[in-house]
């Protein structure tokens, strides 16, 4: 049976995400009784014969496109998403302050506190993706953008909410 080390697998996921998805999908359906020799793998995965001399050039071009997209997203992250994250965090703090004031009067809303704590953790994760570049694929960054805008949409009634933050 052929094995991949961690670094090789991570390289495939970063540089050839569609191929990685196909390999993982196909590997999930490999039966225990199947032979693991090279010909059986080629028969099971016929696209392995479709390699050509232009593949390194295509891979290099793909990496250039991804690098350019990362730079664009980093610039966008610093400008728009920094403000949006600060806005959502300020609303979370206001909500927590209100629950503390209510608790002083003897009415403690544990559900609201837990919801706000969970929201704080979600926003912290989205911040790590959007501002700290903690993502492998540009698609993950795009999803994080959308999720942050959805979190902010709960506060669309607020005076500081901006229309370009709409999801």
d(CA 155, CA 145): 16
Q: CA end-to-end span of the chain, whole Å?
A: 47
Cβ contact 78:131 at 8 Å = yes
Q: What is the pLDDT of residue 8?
A: 72
CA-based Rg of the chain, rounded to a whole angstrom? 23
pLDDT computed for residue 96 by the predictor? 94
Mean pLDDT by 10-residue block, N- to C-terminus, for the chain (167 residues)? 64 71 63 56 54 63 73 68 92 94 89 94 90 73 88 94 87
Q: H or E segment at 71?
A: helix 55-76
- What ranges do the domains of the chain cover? 6-51, 72-165
How far apart (Å, rounded) are the C-alpha atoms in residues 23 and 4?
A: 12
């Amino acid at each position: 049976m052929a094995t991949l080390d961690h670094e090789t697998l991570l390289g495939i996921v970063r540089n050839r995400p569609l191929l990685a998805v196909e390999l993982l999908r196909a590997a999930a359906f490999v039966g225990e009784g199947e032979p693991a020799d090279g010909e059986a793998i080629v028969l099971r995965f016929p696209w392995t014969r479709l390699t050509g001399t232009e593949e390194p050039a295509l891979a290099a071009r793909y990496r250039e496109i991804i690098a350019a997209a990362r730079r664009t997203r980093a610039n966008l992250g610093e400008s728009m998403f920094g403000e949006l994250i600060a806005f959502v965090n300020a609303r979370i703090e206001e909500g927590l302050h209100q629950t503390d004031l209510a608790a002083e009067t003897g009415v403690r809303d544990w559900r609201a506190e837990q919801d706000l704590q969970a929201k704080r953790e979600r926003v912290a994760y989205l911040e790590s993706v959007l501002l700290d570049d903690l993502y492998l694929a540009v698609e993950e960054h795009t999803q994080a953008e959308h999720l942050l805008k959805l979190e902010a949409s709960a506060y669309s009634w607020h005076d500081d909410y901006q229309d370009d933050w709409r999801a």
